[in-house]
């Protein structure tokens, strides 16, 4: 991509034809630049760092904790995560997992 040095807009390519050479032109100002060399630019893109996904056996390993009561063992702390599982105009669903190692009960709050 090339940009206009006068106004900063993206330059467009005008194809060669009827005695004219291939050239760049700016759609908003009178800037024109003939293409004299082969245009090659390589840019290495950095890979995006992946976020942890809530799935599998370790789904709640990285989840935050909150103060809530487990319906099975009445422990006062649980891991939680929120997901949009219904349409966008519905509220998010909260999933909980008891922090008690002996219980590990999972439930959700709609």
Residues at the binding site for Zn(2+) are: 4, 7, 26, 29, 70, 73, 98, 103
Token pair 């509220």 is found at: 91
- Integer-rounded Cα radius of gyration of the chain: 29
Asked whether the beta carbons of 60 and 78 are under 8 A apart, the reply is no
Output b/e per residue, 85-103; b: 16+ Cβ within 10 A. Answer: eeeeeeeeebbbbbbbeee
Provide the annotated binding site.
Answer: 4, 7, 26, 29, 70, 73, 98, 103
């Amino acid at each position: 991509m090339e940009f206009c040095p006068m106004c900063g807009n993206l330059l467009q390519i005008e194809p060669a034809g009827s005695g004219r050479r291939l050239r760049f032109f700016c759609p908003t100002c009178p800037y024109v630049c003939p293409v004299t060399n082969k245009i090659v630019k390589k840019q290495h893109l950095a890979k995006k760092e992946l976020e942890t996904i809530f799935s599998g056996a370790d789904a709640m390993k990285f989840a935050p904790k909150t103060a809530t009561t487990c319906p099975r063992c009445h422990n006062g702390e649980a891991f939680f995560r929120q997901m949009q599982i219904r349409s966008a105009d519905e509220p998010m669903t909260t999933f909980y997992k008891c922090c008690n190692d002996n219980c590990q009960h999972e439930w959700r709050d709609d």
